[in-house]
Chain A
Amino acid sequence: AQKITQTQPGMFVQEKEAVTLDCTYDTSDPSYGLFWYKQPSSGEMIFLIYQGSYDQQNATEGRYSLNFQKARKSANLVISASQLGDSAMYFCAMREGPGTASKLTFGTGTRLQVTL
């Protein structure tokens, strides 16, 4: 089974609208962390937001928020007020186990295109 599933290969959103990028995960470890990274066309990987499995509240970072539904094992990224500069690949990733020196398992990514 895939550990991280991103079912939307591509998404379009109009400028200034909100968009939700889906991510579901699979783990039997009670301690895990979920990350979202942005990869613009220039290629670098930019960390956006983190949600720990024991965090009670949904994470927020500026225009980014994470809709964490633990029972459904989903960690969707919500981008509010989309900007042209948000056009990029977005990757959901999971780190399993309590230690942080462990690998990230990535999903296949969603390509977001913001239009005028």
Chain B
Amino acid sequence: DTAVSQTPKYLVTQMGNDKSIKCEQNLGHDTMYWYKQDSKKFLKIMFSYNNKELIINETVPNRFSPKSPDKAHLNLHINSLELGDSAVYFCASSQEGTGVNEQFFGPGTRLTVL
């Protein structure tokens, strides 16, 4: 059973297009995240949702719009794609509380903008 799943795994598209990446977790967690990993492997937080509410929005262009229809899903829609958006996008989830509560990552979506 996949804990955090993302679709699609690969996405190749032209500049200017609009695309979406979907994420689902079956761990019962209440918090979900989007991270971007660039070509140098640097990982950076983009957004975080807790119980469907946006709690972190890190200086991301407003072409990126996350949507959380319920606690188990966090989708990422990107408008007017640019070359610099090419990266691997990871979804993650965790449970708020004390203790370790590590973040579980999805397999990533490799986005290539041509």
Contacts and interface: CB of A to CB of B under 8 A. Distances in A.
Interface residues of B, number: 33
Given A43-B88, A43-B108, A106 B43 contact: yes
B18 interface: no
Given A47-B104, A100-B98, A108 B45 contact: no
Contacts of B86: none
Interface residues of A, number: 24
A108 B42 contact: yes
Interface in B31-59: 31, 33, 35, 40-45, 48, 50, 55-56, 58
Interface stretch (B60-68, B77-85, B89-97): B89-97
A100 B48 contact: no
A43 B107 contact: yes
A45 interface: yes
B33 A100 contact: no
A102 B98 CA distance: 12
A101 B105 contact: no
A106 B58 CA distance: 14
Contacts of A50: 100, 102
Nearest to B94: A100
Contacts of B105: 37, 44-45
B14 interface: no
B41 A100 contact: no
Contacts of A105: 45
A37 B44 CA distance: 14
Nearest to A31: B98
A33 B97 CA distance: 13
A103 B107 contact: no
A104 interface: yes
A100 B88 CA distance: 24
Contacts of B42: 106, 108-109
Nearest to A111: B41
A52 B56 CA distance: 22
A109 B107 contact: no
Name which of A33, A52, A93, A104 has the most chain B CB atoms within 10 A of its CB.
A104
Interface of B: 30-31, 33, 35, 40-45, 48, 50, 55-56, 58, 88, 90, 92, 94-105, 107-108, 110
